[in-house]
Chain A
Amino acid sequence: MYKSNIIVRNLHRISNNTSIKHNLSRSLATIPSTIPSTNTNSSTSSSTSSSTSTKDKISQKDSTSSGNINVVVPPSGASITLKSATRDASKFGTRPIYLDVQATTPVDPRVLDKMLQFYTGLYGNPHSSTHAYGWETDKEVEIAREYVSKVINADPKEIIFTSGATESNNMIIKGIPRFYKKTKKHIITTQTEHKCVLDSARHMQDEGFEVTYLPVNEEGLINLQDLKNSIRKDTILVSIMAVNNEIGVIQPLKEIGKICRENKVFFHTDAAQAYGKIPIDVNEMNIDALSISSHKIYGPKGLGACYIRRRPRVRLDPIITGGGQERGLRSGTLAAPLIAGFGEAARLMMLESNYDKNYIEKLSNKLKNGLLSIPSTQFNGSKNPNYQYPGCVNISFAYIEGESLLMALKDIALSSGSACTSASLEPSYVLHALGADDALAHSSIRFGIGRFTTEEEVDYVIAAINERVEFLRKMSPLWEMVQEGIDLNSIEWSGH
């Protein structure tokens, strides 16, 4: 199909140069979207060079267009399918298996069932205090607030609904230091935080705050002594995430909270990946502020919350002001349907907590064993189960590029890291912070297991990864060299 397009394109070029652009755009419309857009540039630029004779042009066109064919074909990895001897692909569906629950989770049907009531009958504004429509939704919102607070053993009054964990993080990391800016000038966080925390911190640097970015060890954990040493007289806030979104490592929250309380510093934790999945008790752990996301716990997208302690009181400058809803910390009409869904999702996280935990652990162990049995693979995260969330399995496959492996795994929805940064091909800064080199950081993939993942899917993934890692390594000159016993570090690469 590509070929015929190109021929048509060439004919046009020969007969009438001016029609090329129009024709190009038309023929491009038939080419799958996977083709890099640079194609159009190269072919149009070659067509505008008018110094060569027509005959030369034709041959030149042919060469560029055959070049085009090479470019037009998606990256070699993408054409690999699981044409394995073990099964006939035509007898199965085509939609990929979803293993990216750290990015987002499907909405639990029980949550949707709750939400639908609000999209059909219960449409009142929860802030309308003059009529029954307002009262009934307000009641439901408060029930939801209670469920959300119970998961972390907080008081419902300490829960503020926001648009998501990103807003919560912004609100806390910007709001708390701003409120105390007259006396306090220092914030502590870590190098492996989520982008929105790092970016908020950078923002505060612009406003004149100093920020300390704590390093992590090769397992991704911070050193408590480092934290103690970093706390100064003018430190206002320590922000350390509970569960890392890329490697699933759990920071020692209780110990951090203790240090913070002793030094009278506020402790904020980004619990987007942790809420409902690991036990969190804000009182026992001395957490002063905490960010939550609804869509990571099978709830609706577009909603989150933050916990802000009332005793001892944590004060902050609100980012969004207006009608004074949510204790004046976050104005705006509450999204009752989303909140009800979020509340139901939180209730289910509590109700199913043991069941989900055992199940996810079982699948996680199966997946880990199945993948780490491949030679030259490495698990990123903590080996200590107390510091590792099992639903996040990050593995490096040496001598393979993560992106090419992802291309070869069109039948599995995976990510090489955070969805927020995966638009760029930069290797993960989290893995860098762990001390991984570029190559290793590039070759890592995150597998996310959740409530709705099945054992059958895990079996499929293990088989598919085994098969395709082997395939890609066969093509890799590096792998060949390693097999021949050449130490890659001894090679002097010539630059171009």
Chain B
Amino acid sequence: MVQQKQVLKLYKNLLEKAYKFDNYNFREYAKRRIHDSFKEHKSLTKPEEIAQFYNNGINNLALLTRQSTISQMYTFDKLVVEPLKQHK
């Protein structure tokens, strides 16, 4: 049985990884996709459905970890819509 706390923790971890994409378009997509996916499945009640969604998320977390790391290894100039962060 997957607890609400676990789901929220997964959501947090996924979002944190999404932020790590250096590529603007991939970063924004990942944030948007994660957000919309969790909102879409918010009303799941059957434990097996929740478990499936949760496990899928765990797999995606591993993928995001790998891919956001790669994105940080190959960086390019920021896009014209991206503010350059002075304080970082």
Interface residues of B (CB under 8 A from A): 21, 24-26, 28-30, 33, 36, 63-64, 66-67, 70-71, 76-84, 86
Q: Which residues of A contact B30 (CB under 8 A)?
A: 109
**Could you tell me if A112 and B70 are in contact, using CB atoms closer than 8 angstroms?**
yes
Complex contact B25–A452 (CB within 8 A): yes
Contact of A258 with B by CB under 8 A: no
* Complex: chain A residue closest to B85, CB-CB: A91
Q: How far is the CA of A371 from the CA of B70 in the complex (A)?
A: 37
| Contact between A95 and B84, CB atoms less than 8 A apart | no
- Is the CB–CB distance between B25 and A93 below 8 Å? no
B67 and A97 form a contact (CB under 8 A): no
Asked if A119 is an interface residue, CB under 8 A from chain B, the answer is no
Tell whether A93 pairs with B36 under 8 Å between CB atoms, given A109-B67, A112-B67, A452-B25.
no
- Report whether over half of chain A's contact residues are helix, strand or loop; otherwise say mixed: mixed
- Set B64, B70, B71, B78: member contacting A92, Cβ < 8 A: B78
How large, as a class, is the contact surface on chain A? Answer: 20 to 34
Interface residues of A, Cβ cutoff 8 Å to B: 82, 91-98, 106, 109-110, 112-113, 116, 355, 411-412, 451-454, 456-457, 460
Which of B25, B30, B77 gathers most chain A CB within 10 Å? B25
| Cross-chain pairs A/B with CB under 8 angstroms, 13 sampled | A92-B81, A92-B82, A93-B81, A94-B77, A95-B76, A96-B79, A96-B80, A97-B81, A109-B67, A110-B63, A452-B26, A453-B25, A454-B28
Q: Are A94 and B78 closer than 8 Å at their CB atoms?
A: yes
Q: Is the interface of B mostly helix, strand, loop or mixed?
A: helix
**Does the CB pair B78–A113 fall under 8 Å?**
no
**B62 (CB) vs chain A CBs: closest residue:** A113
Contact B83 A91 (CB under 8 A): yes
Q: How far is the CB of A300 from chain B (nearest CB, A)?
A: 15
Distance (Å) between the CB of A417 and the closest chain B CB?
23
Given contacts A112-B70, A452-B26, whether A355 and B36 have CB atoms under 8 Å apart is yes
For residue B79, which residues in chain A have a CB less than 8 angstroms away from its CB? 92-93, 95-97, 457
Q: Inside 8 A of A92's CB, which chain B residues have their CB?
A: 78-84
In the complex, what residues of B have CB within 8 A of residue A82's CB? Answer: 80
- Max chain A C-beta neighbours (<10 A), residue from B26, B28, B29, B78: B29
> Which residue from B78, B83, B86 sits with its C-beta under 8 Å from A95?
B78
A95:B77 contact, CB within 8 angstroms:
yes
